[in-house]
Amino acid sequence: MLLHLSTWAEIEARLAADRSIVIPIGSNEQHGPTGLLGTDWLCPEIIAHEAQKTHDILVGPTFNIGMAQHHLGFPGSISLRPSTFIAAIGDWARSLAVQGFQRIYFLNGHGGNIASIEAAFSEIYAEASFAGRARGYALRLRNWWELPGVQALCARLYPQGHGSHATPSEIAVTQWAYPGEVRTASYAPQIAPSGPVREAADFRARYPDGRMGSDPAQASPAAGGEIVALAARVLADDLAAGW
Amino acid sequence: MLLHLSTWAEIEARLAADRSIVIPIGSNEQHGPTGLLGTDWLCPEIIAHEAQKTHDILVGPTFNIGMAQHHLGFPGSISLRPSTFIAAIGDWARSLAVQGFQRIYFLNGHGGNIASIEAAFSEIYAEASFAGRARGYALRLRNWWELPGVQALCARLYPQGHGSHATPSEIAVTQWAYPGEVRTASYAPQIAPSGPVREAADFRARYPDGRMGSDPAQASPAAGGEIVALAARVLADDLAAGW
Amino acid sequence: MLLHLSTWAEIEARLAADRSIVIPIGSNEQHGPTGLLGTDWLCPEIIAHEAQKTHDILVGPTFNIGMAQHHLGFPGSISLRPSTFIAAIGDWARSLAVQGFQRIYFLNGHGGNIASIEAAFSEIYAEASFAGRARGYALRLRNWWELPGVQALCARLYPQGHGSHATPSEIAVTQWAYPGEVRTASYAPQIAPSGPVREAADFRARYPDGRMGSDPAQASPAAGGEIVALAARVLADDLAAGW
Amino acid sequence: MLLHLSTWAEIEARLAADRSIVIPIGSNEQHGPTGLLGTDWLCPEIIAHEAQKTHDILVGPTFNIGMAQHHLGFPGSISLRPSTFIAAIGDWARSLAVQGFQRIYFLNGHGGNIASIEAAFSEIYAEASFAGRARGYALRLRNWWELPGVQALCARLYPQGHGSHATPSEIAVTQWAYPGEVRTASYAPQIAPSGPVREAADFRARYPDGRMGSDPAQASPAAGGEIVALAARVLADDLAAGW
Amino acid sequence: MLLHLSTWAEIEARLAADRSIVIPIGSNEQHGPTGLLGTDWLCPEIIAHEAQKTHDILVGPTFNIGMAQHHLGFPGSISLRPSTFIAAIGDWARSLAVQGFQRIYFLNGHGGNIASIEAAFSEIYAEASFAGRARGYALRLRNWWELPGVQALCARLYPQGHGSHATPSEIAVTQWAYPGEVRTASYAPQIAPSGPVREAADFRARYPDGRMGSDPAQASPAAGGEIVALAARVLADDLAAGW
Amino acid sequence: MLLHLSTWAEIEARLAADRSIVIPIGSNEQHGPTGLLGTDWLCPEIIAHEAQKTHDILVGPTFNIGMAQHHLGFPGSISLRPSTFIAAIGDWARSLAVQGFQRIYFLNGHGGNIASIEAAFSEIYAEASFAGRARGYALRLRNWWELPGVQALCARLYPQGHGSHATPSEIAVTQWAYPGEVRTASYAPQIAPSGPVREAADFRARYPDGRMGSDPAQASPAAGGEIVALAARVLADDLAAGW
């Protein structure tokens, strides 16, 4: 069930039975010579939307701009500062919580978001901790590539050159979902370098085409479909368990 | 051209020729008994995405959560506080500006956003004003219903019961784009009441089904298509002129 | 009744009977070759102070610095950033509310304030909305030129060259109240240009003498007196109704 | 010269010769059974306005709301939080500095403001310090009762029961300026208690009629006139020296 | 009793009997040619740690970075902005208060901290004041040199050249506690100049070796021991009284 | 070399040769029945102070309060909110950077700090990224237990019951450094439970004695000494390499 294509009364009715929600969250940022700028928010959106077709889960609107300050040297990248990101995640959570949501699950598509999302959770919990009371709801961060079995699948598909940015797995996912948007390029080097992440100017100097440690030429729509199928199959269980 | 389905190199190339971008911006909030929660961000997204099919404009990712604090009493509504919204709009603008965008045009779908977006623009301009220097880029807010000719069309389509929230015109737009998501309901009263907007508890008490001044039963996919066609046709000219 | 010339005990006694207050709010900023820098806070102060002489209303201290970032290129202009303005309006409102005021009415003298004041109201209401409770008081923004009948009077007095900044009507109001401070100048062009409002450097380049669309030479103390008389006469009714 | 009754061109001309400005700053808060709520912003305004009649100084608009959180238990008191106050003072200073003011002198009327004003100055200076550059302008805080000779005069006028809040000297100043607003009361005890200042509830419990250590019955318009005359006479010299 | 060398259960037990705590607070900043960078946080730490050896008081961790923006031109100085400092003091206080501490006593070692600490207290109290409720705990600022008798002792030890920064008394305290870290230098002039404090660049230009008004050559470990002994002896009484 | 026991001139001299600094950073929070409240800031302080005795590194003052909101239910725990923590880390970094430090290395002792510290780094880098310029200095986070070889040593020492909070390794480190502060207790269960971390009330309910997954009874001063010796030996190399 997609929240944005529902009415408030439908959500009110659902809340009587189930108080959890999945929020796809990512980033809009460069993904190398062939990756789409939307890759990091498209991936969790694709997986969550696919999952809700066959499982009884509620998927909220996609939080599409995250913490990507290091990519700002590449046109089309958009970033929130961590402080803004933390404030915004807090407002999303408080909005949903006042209506009765008790389990807010962020399905994340961007490694650079992790620290800020976790800091945001602590900021939200801290309100209750400083007040000496219970929060009343729980927050959870799950990177889509850490859904049970997904990392193993990606490792099997891409034993070399997976890397950490503009990876063949994330590009494959978008290729499967947007088959009309597949790009090719010749990469030099074939596997991009790795290293630290600092400000945007430093990043573009270290990683001139935007990739980090990856060989995205390995991506294919078919592999993307395989990844989406697995991730979508396990998402509902992951949402249901372990709170 | 959709930014999120482009690569950074494609955007870099485009910037050499054109430094403008359209950002659909809206809100995710209740829209009465039959309106979709996503209505206010879907409408500008639908129009902008339609426009870029036939015009050479660049459309960024949709800013889908806005200032909807008064709707928080209705499940599924998500709001930023004005202060958070202002910070986030600033980060979007600064991200794009550092890459060379000089005309950032927000196509807005939510009346409740207007004050905060304009305040955000002033906050961004003020940085330059306090420093005694030029800003280097311009910001513009355009509500989709104020695109040339659109309000007149809506007035012709819905001479009565257009109202200001959960209007037949915005619901028609989503019906045209999502024909599988058309709901019906019986409304009582047929035309909803009007009045002030305050906090969420007050709002739900005044407007029990969420509508303000509107009779959404008049919406139809066909009328929505007519509105979208007109708005999409004039958007590129509006973006090009008057900066 | 002027709050700042009252004692706390007098206000406490008044609150037992009436829980409303008028706050004149404006801006200190350039007003063209002849307009006083204080024009935008003097006008609502003049009207409100005049009104309380003959009507039983309570008028608070004047909020004299608003959002005037675009005027900072002209010496003597002082501005708050929107974020500061929003915080300050919130503190005023919370101060009054904790003492029992339930209707806080801002009589505004500056168009550039409107967005920030409305955003401030939403910020204040949002506290309650996120907490799922009633706010307990209501906020209202009224521009003095929109008091019933005033715009019509101004249009009759100045059918041409009223404009939007350094208008003959606002300058007339200050001339009536400060007859010793009337300036004259020759204007070129007689009616100033109109256009967009951005950062201060852009503003001064577009509007070299500070006016927007106006011919302030038309102002006269007598007309100012007429405007004040009307505005002061209708203010109390406007405060009493429509909450 | 009063800034708010000047035009921008007059201020621009003055800046060519003199780059200093006096800002009266105070608070709007309870002042015991007979003191006016505006006392703390009226006093520096009265003194500065009087001084500019006979000395060539520029006086800006009055900053009339300060840090008075402890008085909020008494109706009519309005306070900024320190954080808001600091932000607002910063915006005032940055506004004036970008236009060429180099010496911004705050004539303060409220002891409770001192810490926040000094913290605001440090916040403003810190911007330059963190950037490793000169600030380009200087800020100064002067309490009106610490103008040369004033404290000695007050001690002579009121050897006993001067106290620290709702003092006979500050009430005398307002009595001189607003002779129609003189109140009387019987005080019990004649000299109010002294003690710590904490939150508003604690304050009202400790100081039930609002006074701290003072016997305001001693105030008289004549004494107020004497204080104003002295303070106004020394202000210009104090502004000119010691930067 | 040192909090950081205790367990939570020991603190919980203590709270049943006594709800007060001493927080040494200072600054890490240049202290002239011979003073240690840690002087201003070491002094209150030294005194408080000494006091708890013989008195039943609880001493918290040292708040070692304060408001020292004016010293940033000298390497090794670290400063918080006042706004950050205020936020951090608030978090310390709220942490301790939610656990039951009711008297939080800051033993301060840096004059430049005073305004920000007092502003922080007001910010914390204001939360309660705006909410119309009691705070439930009290905050107190005590500069170590203002502990009963200490200023008189310092005046006796250093009748000339005590000054206000890099004073012989504070340097003596650190010499006593860290006898291996005593430096000597020849000072020119012997007694440093005095004057205003502004941004760091201005400060280093006015006070080239970092001292203000002082002759630190007078410091000796023995005098430091005398100061510490007195301060430590009176601290517990000062903590116990006057809340 | 300890910065706080140096003079500014000594640091200025050192900067000519080396522009790096180690900042021990931790948290003050409960550490189970026997762990000291200061454990998480004492451990990196102990290691860094030990290292500088035999290696030419500069160690700054200890950042002793971090993000520990989940521990606030246990007396003696003190926490910053993530937003405050981020602001404070930024001020530390900007202070050091303006003086010429180019490599700021945080040796961290608290897992709960990691997200906020990384978010702080991004916030600092983002300033430069939004401005399109180089930052000029680099930030690094190193948890002391992840120094080369340390985790392997801890795993060898404590193959079972190491856990993640109040671990035998961190308690051993403090036992070695503060042999007079060794506590014992009987634990039930011997190995504490594991699970999620949320607000303080939830935390204390899940982990009644404060431990997570650990059996601290295994700690010994001797093992602590072994850990410190190894960590101190490798720290200087870790600081020197990989920037």
> Residue A238 pLDDT > 80, yes or no?
yes
If you measure CA to CA, which chain A residue comes closest to F69?
Answer: A126
Side-by-side strand order, sheet with D20-25? D20-25, D103-108, D138-143
> Could you tell me how many CB contacts below 8 A there are between chain D and chain F?
7
If you measure CA to CA, which chain A residue comes closest to F75?
Answer: A132
| CB spacing of F115 vs A123 below 8 angstroms | no
Residues of chain A contacting residue F115, judged by C-beta atoms under 8 Å apart:
114-116, 118-119, 122
The mean per-residue pLDDT over the stretch E158-174 comes to: 98
Residue with tokens 């979902």: A177
Asked whether E and C share 3 or more beta-carbon pairs under 8 angstroms, the answer is yes
Q: How many helices (H) and strands (E) does chain A have?
A: 8, 3
If you measure CA to CA, which chain B residue comes closest to A67?
Answer: B91
pLDDT value of position A50: 98
Per the CB < 8 A criterion, the answer to whether D98 and B130 are in contact is: yes
Instruction: Annotate B183-195 with b (16+ C-beta within 10 A) or e (fewer).
Output: beeebeeebbeee
Question: Looking at this protein, which amino acid is placed at residue B140?
Answer: R
Count CB neighbours of C241 within 10 A.
8
Residue with tokens 């900066």: B243
Residues of chain E contacting residue D125, judged by C-beta atoms under 8 Å apart:
69-70, 198-200
Number of domains in chain C: 1
Asked whether B and A share 3 or more beta-carbon pairs under 8 angstroms, the answer is yes
pLDDT value of position D38: 98
pLDDT value of position C68: 98
Most F CBs within 10 A among E3, E4, E21, hence the mutation to make, goes to E4
E236 confidence band (pLDDT: 50, 70, 90): very high
CA pair distance B60, B56, nearest whole angstrom: 13
Cα-flanking dihedrals φ and ψ of residue E110, to 5°?
-140, 120
CA pair distance C129, C122, nearest whole angstrom: 10
Residue with tokens 């961290």: F108
Residue with tokens 């205003």: E196
The mean per-residue pLDDT over the stretch D209-217 comes to: 98
Q: Give the closest residue to B170 by CA, choosing from B137, B205, B145.
A: B145
Contact residues, F window 23-52, toward A, CB-based 8 Å cutoff: none
Per the CB < 8 A criterion, the answer to whether D172 and D223 are in contact is: yes
If you measure CA to CA, which chain F residue comes closest to B92?
Answer: F130
Question: pLDDT for C92-110, tens place per residue?
Answer: 999 999 999 999 999 999 9
> Residue D242 pLDDT > 90, yes or no?
no
CA pair distance D9, C33, nearest whole angstrom: 7
Measured in angstroms, the CA of E39 and the nearest CA of chain F are apart by 8
pLDDT value of position B172: 98
> Residue B242 pLDDT > 80, yes or no?
no
Residues of chain A contacting residue E98, judged by C-beta atoms under 8 Å apart:
129-132
Q: Who among D67, D112, D201 is closest to E128 (CB)?
A: D201
Asked whether C and D share 3 or more beta-carbon pairs under 8 angstroms, the answer is yes
If you measure CA to CA, which chain B residue comes closest to D99?
Answer: B132
Question: pLDDT for A144-191, tens place per residue?
Answer: 999 999 999 999 999 999 999 999 999 999 999 999 999 999 999 999
CA pair distance C48, A168, nearest whole angstrom: 68
F115 in contact with chain A, both atoms CB, cutoff 8 A: yes
Question: pLDDT for B52-62, tens place per residue?
Answer: 999 999 999 99
> Residue A242 pLDDT > 80, yes or no?
no
**How does DSSP assign C90-142, residue by residue?**
HHHHHHHHHTT--EEEEEE--GGGHHHHHHHHHHHHHHHHHHTS--SSEEEEE
Count CB neighbours of E134 within 10 A.
14
Share of chain B above pLDDT 90, in %: 99
- β-partners of residue C25 are C63, C108
E98 in contact with chain A, both atoms CB, cutoff 8 A: yes
Contacts of C159 (CB under 8 A, 6+ apart): none
Side-by-side strand order, sheet with B20-25? B20-25, B103-108, B138-143
Question: pLDDT for B31-76, tens place per residue?
Answer: 999 999 999 999 999 999 999 999 999 999 999 999 999 999 999 9
Q: Which domain holds residue B148?
A: 3-240
Residues of chain B contacting residue A15, judged by C-beta atoms under 8 Å apart:
75
Residues of chain E contacting residue C98, judged by C-beta atoms under 8 Å apart:
129-132
B20 confidence band (pLDDT: 50, 70, 90): very high
CA pair distance D228, A103, nearest whole angstrom: 65
pLDDT value of position E6: 98
Question: pLDDT for D153-209, tens place per residue?
Answer: 999 999 999 999 999 999 999 999 999 999 999 999 999 999 999 999 999 999 999
Contacts of F91 (CB under 8 A, 6+ apart): D130, E65, E78, E79, E80, E81, E84
> Residue B120 pLDDT > 80, yes or no?
yes
If you measure CA to CA, which chain E residue comes closest to C91?
Answer: E130
pLDDT value of position A243: 80
Tokens of E108: 């301060």
pLDDT value of position A199: 98
Residues of chain C contacting residue A137, judged by C-beta atoms under 8 Å apart:
none
Q: Who among A132, A199, A243 is closest to F135 (CB)?
A: A199
Quote the distance between the C-alpha of residue C231 and its chain's center.
Answer: 12
Using CA atoms, how far residue F208 sits from B184, C16, F200, F204, F215, in Å, is 53, 51, 11, 5, 14
Q: Who among E86, E114, E242 is closest to D82 (CB)?
A: E86
Measured in angstroms, the CA of E198 and the nearest CA of chain F are apart by 16
pLDDT value of position F18: 97
- β-partners of residue E142 are E107
Residue with tokens 């012997």: E190
Per the CB < 8 A criterion, the answer to whether A70 and F135 are in contact is: no
* Cα Rg of chain C (Å, integer): 18
D70 in contact with chain E, both atoms CB, cutoff 8 A: yes
Residue with tokens 């009765």: A100
Per the CB < 8 A criterion, the answer to whether F106 and F25 are in contact is: yes
Contacts of D152 (CB under 8 A, 6+ apart): none
Counting as contact any 3 or more CB pairs under 8 A, the partners of B are: A, C, D, F
CA pair distance D99, C77, nearest whole angstrom: 9
CA pair distance F117, F207, nearest whole angstrom: 25
Q: How many helices (H) and strands (E) does chain F have?
A: 8, 3
Interface predicted TM-score (ipTM) of this complex, two decimals: 0.98
CATH number at residue A47: 3.40.50.10310
* HSE, side-chain direction, 13 A CA sphere, residue E122: 30
> Residue B222 pLDDT > 80, yes or no?
yes
| CB spacing of E4 vs F37 below 8 angstroms | yes
| CB spacing of C98 vs D64 below 8 angstroms | no
CA pair distance D133, E198, nearest whole angstrom: 12
Measured in angstroms, the CA of E162 and the nearest CA of chain D are apart by 22
pLDDT value of position F241: 87
Residues of chain F contacting residue B84, judged by C-beta atoms under 8 Å apart:
none
CA pair distance C140, A57, nearest whole angstrom: 42
pLDDT value of position B241: 87
> Residue E242 pLDDT > 90, yes or no?
no
> Residue C243 pLDDT > 90, yes or no?
no
Residue F211 buriedness (CB in 10 A; 0-12 / 13-18 / 19+): buried
Q: Give the closest residue to B41 by CA, choosing from B69, B7, B77, B74.
A: B77
The mean per-residue pLDDT over the stretch E41-68 comes to: 98
Asked whether C and A share 3 or more beta-carbon pairs under 8 angstroms, the answer is yes
**How does DSSP assign A37-100, residue by residue?**
TTHHHHHHHHHHHHHHHHS---B---B-----GGGTTSTT-B---HHHHHHHHHHHHHHHHHTT
**In C178-242, alpha helices (H):** 200-206, 221-240
CA pair distance D24, D37, nearest whole angstrom: 16
CA pair distance C208, C202, nearest whole angstrom: 10
User: How many residues does this entry show for chain B?
Assistant: 243
Most C CBs within 10 A among D2, D8, D31, hence the mutation to make, goes to D8
Contacts of F154 (CB under 8 A, 6+ apart): F145, F162, F167, F169, F227
Tell me the longest C-alpha to C-alpha distance in chain F.
58
> Could you tell me how many CB contacts below 8 A there are between chain C and chain D?
175
CA pair distance B128, B112, nearest whole angstrom: 27
pLDDT value of position E243: 80
pLDDT value of position D88: 98
User: How many residues does this entry show for chain F?
Assistant: 243
**How does DSSP assign E28-58, residue by residue?**
B--BTTTB-TTHHHHHHHHHHHHHHHHS---
Most A CBs within 10 A among E94, E124, E135, hence the mutation to make, goes to E94
Instruction: Annotate E115-130 with b (16+ C-beta within 10 A) or e (fewer).
Output: bbbbbbbbbbbbebbb
CA pair distance A239, C1, nearest whole angstrom: 61
Most A CBs within 10 A among C122, C127, C130, hence the mutation to make, goes to C130
Share of chain D above pLDDT 90, in %: 99
Residues of chain A contacting residue F129, judged by C-beta atoms under 8 Å apart:
69-70, 72-73, 79, 199-201
Q: What is the pLDDT along chain F (243 residues), one digit of tens a residue?
A: 999 999 999 999 999 999 999 999 999 999 999 999 999 999 999 999 999 999 999 999 999 999 999 999 999 999 999 999 999 999 999 999 999 999 999 999 999 999 999 999 999 999 999 999 999 999 999 999 999 999 999 999 999 999 999 999 999 999 999 999 999 999 999 999 999 999 999 999 999 999 999 999 999 999 999 999 999 999 999 999 878
**How does DSSP assign F145-207, residue by residue?**
GGSTTHHHHHHHH-SSS--SBS-HHHHHHHHHH-GGG------SSSS--------HHHHHHHS
Most E CBs within 10 A among F2, F15, F29, F37, hence the mutation to make, goes to F37
pLDDT value of position D243: 80
Residues of chain C contacting residue B69, judged by C-beta atoms under 8 Å apart:
122, 125-126, 129-130
Question: pLDDT for F153-203, tens place per residue?
Answer: 999 999 999 999 999 999 999 999 999 999 999 999 999 999 999 999 999
Q: Give the closest residue to E55 by CA, choosing from E13, E22, E15.
A: E22
Per the CB < 8 A criterion, the answer to whether E200 and E72 are in contact is: yes
